Chain A
């Protein structure tokens, strides 16, 4: 759509370049008593836990689907995903909505169920360390890096890997095989 031309467009280039690369903001949240974080730019919104519809024959970490303003959005239980057990819902439980890349440049909105959301922190690039070779019981593929604010360390989650279709499909197949062998008896 054409716009009314109001100036000479000279300042346009300059205003674009104000983003600071060295400091990035992260959203921190609690899962099973531990603090995790994701880049704030990945987060679409945070909503309260509403009615979730269970989807049968799916692995445990898929808690179900919710109605997000008319769209059906799957919710992943992060605690269950990281094998910390199924998270119990309470007043502070939240769903963090993130966009995950799919193949061919498409995105899917996925909800992450967390026990509570803490705060938004700013971490300078100096305080980001690569993921350790050995995690403390967390699948290292889920760890993007380690972050530090003051003396507090926390895991920066690799959303892409957590929700990678490949892994979910694998798990789902396992679940199905388990199910079918159970019913065959």
Chain B
């Protein structure tokens, strides 16, 4: 299992424990979609995502669009630098609308 799940009153907190790449995408898609359908509110923590490629990004985009369809609440939190890099280069920060905490030292 590449994710840690903690369920609390319908609020799921998921910590992604692996890279989000083409190699992990298939398994991760199943796991994360399961969580999204299961709970009303899902918080996905990305601090341990050491690497993200286009497949990983697609996964984020998929979850975001499913959130709307399924009328759920989804938050990505604690973006790792790898994730921030991808969102920034594609100008997608606003699209997800999640507050991003910059790692210390880069706040300026």
Task: Consider the complex of A and B and state whether they touch directly, i.e. have CB atoms less than 8 Å apart.
Answer: no
User: B residues near A, CB below 8 A?
Assistant: none
